[in-house]
């Protein structure tokens, strides 16, 4: 199976570590380099980048996520987005989490000290929603092992009990189709399967849920009139989710504009089929070698296997990039990978 990225990517190793950080396409690298050079010479004049690039990235992400661009806020990290949501939860409210979920989804709620966090196995998340649950906060795909949440069941259970939903799509957006409008909030780090530079992340908020958030870090970029409120308090915040924007890291967003455009050109459904087929080939190969990957419901682009942590140095020496998380060797497959990459990793593990 050939790669989908074509000449956009030129890895010089077997790179199976997108769950940690995705590779940048050449067009994104070029955009970042051009802006950095312009900033070094002063040729851009005022400012260090283009808000048009930020909005192009916002609009493309919105199309990939299936929501209007007016419902998307642009920022720099998932934890900041989650912190904004955590600040909106009333004192004493219960927030339901999956055990072992990524810390950025959990910690902003816990550090408040006046909420009631509750942790349940991922497989029981839907059945554990209760009438006093204010929010269910969970990842679509678990970072440690690639397990996929029962998204339909969790949404239905939350709706039945009047709970809001917060979905972290950082390990899924870019290969797993995302219907962001089905959740009150979604947060997505851009530097994994979305192939953006670090410093890009996206928050989606339904129109109804937008009223639940106070834009605590609002600044001049949050104003309805972008350049009309640079001094004194902003007179009128943006009517869209842009009121929750952070000041943009322009270098990152100039790259993100290009990376997201590439994903849209190829199509998430096509990428999903490609990535999951490679992951299935790797799982089958591991089983043939006598290893048992963590079982997942459905198809996941992430494969984690216990008992191989001691082989990580061998893989690294052979220029096969994977990661070790929660005691598992974790491999993640994306559009720049091929069957040759799968077979190379299996050859190393076979000795």
pLDDT at 172 > cutoff 80: yes
Same domain, 227 and 281: no
For residue 164 the two structure tokens come to 């809001």
3-class SS of residue 130: coil
- Segment 291-301 shows an average pLDDT of 94
pLDDT digits (tens, 9 = 90+) for 87-129: 999 999 999 999 999 999 999 999 999 999 999 999 999 999 9
- Segment 32-36 shows an average pLDDT of 94
301, exposed or middle or buried, with CB in 10 Å at 0-12, 13-18, 19+?
buried
- pTM for the model stands at 0.96
Q: Is residue 304 assigned to a domain?
A: yes
Structural domain total, the chain: 2
- Segment 301-324 shows an average pLDDT of 96
pLDDT digits (tens, 9 = 90+) for 243-290: 999 999 999 999 999 999 999 999 999 999 999 999 999 999 999 999
pLDDT of residue 178: 97
How far apart CA 305 and CA 25 sit, in angstroms, is 29
pLDDT digits (tens, 9 = 90+) for 159-169: 999 999 999 99
pLDDT digits (tens, 9 = 90+) for 208-255: 999 999 999 999 999 999 888 889 999 899 999 999 999 999 999 999
Q: Is residue 115 assigned to a domain?
A: yes
How far apart CA 205 and CA 261 sit, in angstroms, is 22
pLDDT at 46 > cutoff 80: no
Q: Report the chain's mean pLDDT, rounded to a whole number.
A: 95
Same domain, 174 and 212: yes
pLDDT of residue 47: 64
Same domain, 253 and 290: no
Range of the domain at 339: 6-25+267-350
Same domain, 274 and 259: no
DSSP assignments along 272-321, one per residue:
HHHHHHHHHHHHHHHHHTT--PPP-SS--SEEEEET-GGGHHHHHHTTEE
Q: Which helix (H) or strand (E) holds 254?
A: helix 250-266
Report the percent of the chain where pLDDT is more than 90: 91
Confidence of residue 45 (pLDDT cuts 50, 70, 90): low
Same domain, 168 and 317: no
pLDDT of residue 168: 98
- Segment 178-191 shows an average pLDDT of 98
Residue 141 DSSP one-character state = B
3-class SS of residue 239: coil
DSSP assignments along 151-202, one per residue:
HHHHHHHHHHHT-EEEEE-TTTTTTS---GGGSSEEEEETTSTT-PPTT-EE
pLDDT at 155 > cutoff 90: yes
Same domain, 161 and 306: no
Q: State CA 246 to chain mean position distance.
A: 17
Q: Is residue 1 assigned to a domain?
A: no
């Amino acid at each position: 199976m050939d790669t989908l990225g074509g000449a956009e990517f030129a890895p010089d190793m077997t790179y199976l570590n997108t769950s940690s950080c995705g590779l940048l396409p050449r067009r994104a690298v070029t955009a970042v380099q051009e802006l950095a050079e312009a900033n070094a010479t002063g040729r851009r004049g005022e400012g260090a980048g283009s808000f048009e690039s930020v909005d192009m990235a916002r609009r493309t992400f919105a199309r990939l996520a299936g929501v209007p661009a007016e419902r998307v806020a642009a920022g720099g990290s998932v934890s900041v987005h989650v912190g904004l949501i955590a600040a909106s939860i009333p004192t004493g409210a219960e927030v339901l989490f999956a055990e072992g979920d990524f810390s950025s989804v959990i910690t902003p709620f816990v550090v408040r000290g006046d909420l009631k966090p509750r942790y349940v196995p991922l497989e029981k998340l839907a059945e554990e929603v209760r009438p006093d649950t204010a929010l269910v906060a969970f990842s679509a795909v678990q970072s440690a092992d690639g397990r996929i949440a029962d998204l339909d069941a969790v949404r239905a259970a939350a709706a039945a009990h009047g709970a809001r939903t917060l979905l972290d799509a950082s390990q899924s957006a870019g290969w797993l189709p995302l219907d962001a409008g089905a959740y009150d909030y979604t947060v997505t780090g851009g530097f994994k399967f979305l192939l953006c530079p670090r410093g890009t992340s996206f928050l989606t908020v339904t129109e109804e849920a937008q009223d639940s958030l106070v834009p605590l870090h609002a600044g001049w970029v949050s104003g309805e009139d972008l350049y009309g409120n640079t001094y004194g308090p902003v007179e009128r915040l943006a009517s869209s989710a842009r009121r929750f924007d952070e000041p943009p890291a322009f270098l990152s967003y100039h790259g993100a504009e290009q990376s997201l455009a590439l994903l849209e050109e190829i199509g998430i459904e096509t990428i999903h089929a490609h990535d999951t087929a490679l992951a299935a080939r790797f799982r089958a190969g591991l089983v043939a070698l006598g290893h048992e990957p963590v079982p997942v419901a459905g198809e996941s682009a992430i494969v984690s296997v216990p008992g191989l942590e001691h082989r990580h140095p061998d893989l690294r020496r052979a220029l096969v990039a994977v990661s070790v998380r929660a005691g598992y060797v974790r491999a993640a497959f994306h559009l720049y990978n091929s069957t040759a990459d799968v077979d190379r990793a299996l050859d190393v593990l076979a000795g």
